[in-house]
Each structure stands twice: as structure tokens, then as C-alpha cells.
Amino acid sequence: MNIKNILVPTDFSPCSKNAVRIAVDLSKKLGAKIHLINAIHVPTPHMDIGGQAMIEPMLEEYEEEVDKKFDALDEEIPGLKDVKHDHRAYVSFTIDAIYTAMETKKIDMIVMGTKGSHDTLEKLLGGVSSEVIRIADVPVLVVPEAIKKFNPKKIVFAADFNKIESIGRLSPLKDIAELFEAEITIVNVTEDDKFPFSRLVESFKVDKFLKNIKHSFETTKNDDVRAGLFEFAEKNSADMIVMMPRKHSLFEKIFKSSVTKKVAMGVKVPLLTFHE
């Protein structure tokens, strides 16, 4: 798995610190460097009322305070001192900071944390994480706060079996299964009992691509794709759910802002997403 740089956005909350812990575990397995970032947005002051003079001391205080918090993570997070890592504070919107870091740090994976409370999920997964999933051209791993150790052995991969332009885009799924010696269940959530021949052809491609990994195919019927997916994952004791958001697919609607919060609240295990 060719991951050398892992990005972890943090606001120093318990759930984001947990994401750092998971990133440390991944870093040790992959030999990857961790890049920690924090962001704060400060509205542009009106120059004619001395706004700039008021803002500059606030920014200096912010940078000093956030540096202390980053330093404290070295003591608080087991193993963080033992892996390569750096940190940076951004004065910008969080999504802009993530995008900048992705471009300048050659990021290969993003790890983000989520908490179980409605307000936090609505704020984090309903906004920043869904936007990160949308713009990131690298895998995004969203980790619930309750998950203290990342060691997936049973992976559920949500597949619609519409035409896959490049089967190689499934490499993150294959790589992580190999890394953790995990078993993959490829599940197709359908709104009816139809399974066109074209989808059968695509399933053969997936089967061939995963030939060296223990895997199986399942179909479950549910009018609500999101509900069907999470019910299946829970019933089959999945350790992780993997999704590949695609345009013009059944799963595209899962990542629309109107339902992303529902998806996030349904996640009880890590969620890995990557684009086709």
C-alpha cells in the first residue's frame, strides 16, 4: 500500500485525538508520515476602523496556543513521538486548509474523526467530512470515536456494479485488505430484484481483481440504500465499510448534503471512501 503521507485535521476534541491515534497505528504499519493541521477562520477586518490592529494580536495568541496543543499531543497520544509527523496551524476555513495541505504535502490518505453526538456529527460529517469526501482524490478514512484500534478483519464494500471505468481504482480496497489480512464482502443493495447482465459482467471484473483475497458477493434488497447498507454491515459484524462515491450511481445520493448527516450517524465502524 503506497501511502507515505497521512493528513489528520484536528480541533483537539476527543474524537479528533482518536483519529490521531488511528493514524499512528497506520503510520507504523505503512511507514508513513503524519501531517496534523488545525484551522481557524478569522473574518477580514475593515481597515478603516483599525480592525487589522485588533486582529493581529488575536492571531499571534491563536498560533501560540495551538502550538502548545500540538506539543501536548506528543505526550498524550501513545506512539506519536515514535513516528514521523509535523503540524501546522492555518488561518482559513477548515476545508481550505485541508485542500492546501493535500496539495503541498502530497497527501495519500486523510484520516478524520467523528463523535456520536448529533450536534458534532451534523457539524463535522454533515459539512467538512462530506466536502472532503467530495473533493479528495485520495482515500478518506472516517473513524468513530468509539473505535480505539484500527484492525479491520471483515470489510463490507458497497458496490452498485454499474460500469467501472478502471478496475485499478479499487486498489485502496485491495491494499487495505491485504495489509490487515481481511475478508471482503461485496454487497449490492438493490431497490428491486433485478440484476442486469451488465452488472454481472462488472462483478466478474471485481472477482478477478480480488482473486488473491478472500471475498464473497451478497445482494440485499432495501428501498433505502443507506439503511440497507448499514443493516447489512451490522448484521454481518463488519469492522469497516468501504464506499466508492460515483456520479450517476445509486450511491451518489448518499453523499448529497441532505442525507450525509444520516449516513454519518449510521456509521458505527470506520468508513473508507475513495473515488473511481
Topology of domain 5-144, per CATH? Rossmann fold (3.40.50)
Phi, psi of 268 (to 5 degrees): -110, -10
Phi, psi of 37 (to 5 degrees): -135, 150
pLDDT, residue 267, reads 67
Pairing of strands 154-158, 183-190: parallel
- Per-10-residue mean pLDDT of the chain, 276 residues long, equals 91 91 94 93 57 62 84 93 93 88 93 62 51 84 89 90 75 93 91 64 87 91 81 91 68 48 63 84
Q: Where are the chain's structural domains?
A: 5-144, 154-273
Query: Are 104 and 82 spatial neighbours (Cβ–Cβ below 8 Å)?
Result: no
Burial of 48 (0-12, 13-18, 19+ CB in 10 A): exposed
* 192: amino acid identity, one letter: D
Element (H, E) at 238: none
Q: In whole angstroms, what is the distance from residue 94 CA to residue 9 CA?
A: 8
- Radius of gyration for the chain, computed over Cα atoms and rounded to the nearest angstrom: 20
- Encode pLDDT of 149-181 as tens digits: 899 999 999 887 666 667 888 899 999 999 999
- Encode pLDDT of 100-131 as tens digits: 999 999 999 999 987 654 333 334 444 577 77
Q: Is the dihedral of CA 247, 248, 251, 255 positive or negative?
A: positive
Q: What's the mean pLDDT when you consider all of the chain? A: 80
CATH of 154-273, one of 3.10.180.10, 3.40.50.620, 3.40.50.300, 2.60.40.3080: 3.40.50.620
User: Is there a common fold for 5-144 and 154-273?
Assistant: yes
- 90, β-bridge pairs: 39
